[in-house]
Amino acid sequence: MELFARSRPRLTGTAAAASPAGSLAKVAKLVQPHLEQVETRIAQQAAAFDPAIEGYVVYAIGSRGKRLRPLLTLLAGGATGGINSGHVDLAVIVELIHLATLVHDDVMDEAERRRAQPTANARWGNSLSVLLGDCLFAHALTLSTNFENAGIGRAIARTAATVCSGEMIQTQRRFDLNLGVQDYLRIVEMKTGSLFSAAAELAAVISEANASVIERFKNFGFQIGTAYQIYDDCVDLAGNERSTGKTLGTDLRKGKFTLPVLIFLRSASEFERERCCQLVLEERVEEMIELLKNGATNGALNESIAAGSDLIRDAQTALDGIESTPYAEALLCLGDALCEMFDQLRV
């Protein structure tokens, strides 16, 4: 299986940065004025809604995340000829789609808090939050019809459908011990890889890059996005509750079996499978995490981290042949920063 076969030397673009957060900040610095424009534009979107619901929209879009998708969009725009207002529009749209899915995720997970704030569903209930997510979705897709190139709006709408389909398959297969590593990868590619992919690909389209360049950015986004989701899933099992501000093991409690669990199950004995099943059903999540760190495969978690890091290196390879600019270098550094984040999870 390709995913676990390769190992390449690490690129060293961020050697100077002291921490993954520092590396990410360094990357973001290159497009800081544009990121601020994106932030302003996102905040302005609430005004497009009826005054009666503007407040809810402000709340939903105000929960500042890492803005990874806008960052990728802007860097890809810069690397394909320079950032223009179309790239800022695209960055706003992909982030709004992401925010819409977060609102619905929180409803489905019955999550009480996100980034230290009460979730929309915790504040106003599920009904209002379902509709709030719908409003954000519809608004993002409305914005995406403003591109002169209608193919961009079409690609964004199609990507939104793919993201939701991926989440649907994930939901359908909760508590399914027969879920395979390949099934998981497909889900992750659909729910996260596809939106990162669209961000990078369409940024290149907006720059009117040639087909082979567009293809490279598409692949870069796809692999970086997929790797990022794997990272996020690993954090849920092995992160630091204090530094991430997240409760660990929430995926397991919801029956979402992520890469470390599936790698463990793949080579587990019948006895281990049964033990795993029992721990999940009894919500003995801490014990399950121990098993993943120290199990028979000598660390399913480390193997997942290696898989994610390999994907990032593949993504970086996808940019081979792209003209060397500070933006292209920053995209490689973005990959390195993700690798560093992975490294911090190693046991």
Q: Site residues (CB under 8 A) for a copy of itself?
A: 49-50, 52-53, 56, 104, 107-108, 126-128, 130-135, 137-139, 141-142, 144-146, 150, 153-154, 157-158, 160-161, 163-165, 167-169, 171-172, 190
Classify residue 63 as exposed, middle or buried by CB count within 10 Å of its CB (0-12, 13-18, 19+). Answer: middle
Q: How far is the CB of 243 from a copy of itself (least distance, A)?
A: 29
Backbone angles phi, psi at 39, to 5 degrees: -60, -45
**Pair 65, 35: CB distance under 8 Å:** no
Output 126 or 317, the one with its CB closest to a copy of itself. Answer: 126
Across the strands, what pairs with 117?
Answer: 114
Structure-token pair, residue 281: 């059903």
Nearest 5°: the CA angle 296, 233, 160 is: 140
Cα separation, 9 vs 332, whole angstroms: 13
Q: How far is the CB of 209 from a copy of itself (least distance, A)?
A: 22
Provide the 3-class DSSP secondary structure of residue 140: helix
Q: How far is the CB of 152 from a copy of itself (least distance, A)?
A: 9
Q: How far is the CB of 342 from a copy of itself (least distance, A)?
A: 28
Q: How far is CA 156 from CA 94, 98, 199, 216, 315, in A?
A: 8, 12, 9, 18, 21
Q: How far is the CB of 237 from a copy of itself (least distance, A)?
A: 21
Angle at which helix 326-343 crosses helix 68-79, to 10 degrees, equals: 150
Output 122 or 131, the one with its CB closest to a copy of itself. Answer: 131
Q: How far is CA 131 from CA 48, 310, 316, in A?
A: 16, 39, 39
Output 82 or 151, the one with its CB closest to a copy of itself. Answer: 151
Output 144 or 304, the one with its CB closest to a copy of itself. Answer: 144
Q: How far is the CB of 222 from a copy of itself (least distance, A)?
A: 17
Output 22 or 49, the one with its CB closest to a copy of itself. Answer: 49
Residue 113, H or E segment: strand 113-114
Provide the 3-class DSSP secondary structure of residue 246: coil
Q: How far is the CB of 335 from a copy of itself (least distance, A)?
A: 28
Output 3 or 141, the one with its CB closest to a copy of itself. Answer: 141
Residue 118, H or E segment: strand 117-118
Output 166 or 221, the one with its CB closest to a copy of itself. Answer: 166
